[in-house]
């Protein structure tokens, strides 16, 4: 048991959660407006690629983040065009975006860098970790020192932005005019339309907000977590974010708790790899990897809590009906 350190699991959890938090909050906007967004995965991957390329070329992480957001928003607009203008199948559109991006990013990365679908390390193009003032002074104090230096401090700015986004999204969705319209359009677009709210423009705005957040998610993945782009590096994070949404009943704070749970399990899996537990023996990492997915299935089935989706989700809006 000595090999497992709960403290380092928590630190790893905080470091890996932002990818999920940004993406899940992005999906929250889209889905609360009534549009199923399984293209989260593709948006994360496209943004990771764009931000890694630009951060590498300019050696400035901020330009990388900006490029990631722009590309992710363009994909959000494409998804919007299909789902809002064309009234196409939202699931199929999302699948198509995921598959296209997975192929295209590899091809472009190979074309630009000739390194088997990855970019060179970003070096200066990465964010610096921020330290909380005074954390050096208390470094030797047992719990407080660890808390300030590793758990709360010592992260890059995007980590703080992810955790700040949670109350912000909660406030926007529940306490602003836009949020009210968003919920109305997602629950009953016909009533919203009768009340003079434009369903189409509300949904486009929601998708764009989702695009910005997914852009941040991908940028965090490439610029902060790994420091380079790798083919298919989103590795199911978009789908996990979607599962977190279901877990959290499409509410910002609960969804974030779901993200933290998933991040905790992935940190636990890395820690448990090859460790012999008393009475159980070696637990294979691939079996621990399954836990979040199984938990999601159980929650989906309503065995733990009932998840309530926006009522009009997945239904294209046709004004005349």
Q: Given candidates 104, 138, 151, 275, which one binds other proteins under the rule CB under 8 A?
A: 104
CB neighbour list of residue 103: distance below 8 Å, 6 or more residues apart: none
Q: Quick check: helix, strand or coil at residue 88?
A: coil
CB neighbour list of residue 2: distance below 8 Å, 6 or more residues apart: none
DSSP one-letter code for 138: T
Q: Judged by CB under 8 A, which stretch of 65-73, 84-92, 131-139, 211-219 contacts other proteins? A: 84-92
Of the pair 280, 301, the CB lying nearest other proteins is at 301
Cα 186 to Cα 184: distance, rounded to the nearest angstrom? 5
296 binds other proteins (CB under 8 A): yes
Q: Judged by CB under 8 A, which stretch of 91-99, 158-166, 167-175, 210-218 contacts other proteins? A: 91-99
20 binds other proteins (CB under 8 A): no
242 binds other proteins (CB under 8 A): yes
Q: Given candidates 120, 145, 153, 236, which one binds other proteins under the rule CB under 8 A?
A: 236
Of the pair 107, 168, the CB lying nearest other proteins is at 107
CB neighbour list of residue 165: distance below 8 Å, 6 or more residues apart: 21, 22, 25, 213
The residue among 315, 252, 310 whose CA lies nearest residue 31 is: 310
320 binds other proteins (CB under 8 A): no
Q: How far is CA 8 from CA 37, 150, 192, 264, 270, in A?
A: 33, 9, 48, 11, 11
CB atoms within 10 A of CB 304: 11
Q: Given candidates 128, 294, 319, 321, which one binds other proteins under the rule CB under 8 A?
A: 294
Of the pair 10, 317, the CB lying nearest other proteins is at 317
Of the pair 14, 233, the CB lying nearest other proteins is at 233
304 binds other proteins (CB under 8 A): no
Cα 79 to Cα 203: distance, rounded to the nearest angstrom? 11
For residue 282 the two structure tokens come to: 């070696």
106 binds other proteins (CB under 8 A): yes
**Positive or negative, the Cα torsion across 249, 151, 235, 272?**
negative
CB of 287 to other proteins, least distance (A): 6
111 binds other proteins (CB under 8 A): yes
Binding stretches for other proteins (CB under 8 A): 36, 38, 82, 86-89, 91-93, 95-104, 106-107, 110-111, 117, 231, 236, 239, 242-243, 246, 284, 286-287, 289-290, 293-294, 296-297, 300-303, 309
């Amino acid at each position: 048991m000595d090999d497992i350190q709960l403290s380092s699991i928590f630190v790893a959890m905080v470091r890996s959660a932002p990818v999920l938090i940004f993406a899940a909050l992005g999906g929250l906007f889209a889905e609360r407006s009534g549009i199923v967004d399984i293209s989260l995965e593709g948006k994360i991957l496209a943004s990771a690629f764009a931000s890694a390329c630009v951060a590498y070329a300019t050696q400035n992480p901020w330009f990388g983040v900006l490029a990631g957001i722009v590309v992710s928003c363009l994909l959000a607009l494409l998804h919007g065009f299909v789902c809002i203008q064309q009234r196409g199948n939202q699931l199929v559109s999302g699948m198509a975006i995921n598959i296209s991006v997975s192929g295209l990013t590899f091809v472009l990365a190979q074309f630009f860098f000739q390194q088997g679908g990855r970019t060179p390390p970003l070096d200066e193009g990465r964010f610096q970790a921020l330290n909380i003032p005074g954390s050096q002074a208390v470094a030797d104090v047992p719990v407080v020192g660890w808390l300030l230096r590793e758990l709360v401090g010592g992260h890059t700015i995007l980590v703080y932005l992810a955790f700040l986004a949670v109350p912000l999204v909660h406030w926007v969705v529940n306490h602003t005019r836009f949020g009210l319209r968003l919920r109305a359009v997602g629950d009953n677009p016909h009533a919203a339309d009768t009340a003079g709210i434009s369903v189409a423009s509300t949904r486009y705005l929601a998708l764009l907000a989702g695009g910005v957040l997914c852009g941040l998610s991908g940028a965090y993945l490439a610029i902060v977590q790994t420091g380079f782009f790798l083919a298919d590096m989103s590795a199911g994070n978009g789908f996990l974010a979607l599962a977190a949404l279901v877990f959290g009943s499409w509410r910002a704070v609960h969804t974030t708790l779901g993200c933290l749970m998933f991040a905790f399990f992935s940190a636990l899996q890395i820690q448990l790899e090859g460790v012999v537990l008393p009475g159980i023996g070696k637990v294979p990492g691939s079996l621990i990897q399954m836990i979040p997915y199984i938990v999601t299935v159980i929650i989906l089935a309503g065995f733990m809590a009932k998840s309530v989706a926006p009522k009009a989700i997945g239904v294209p809006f046709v004004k005349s009906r």
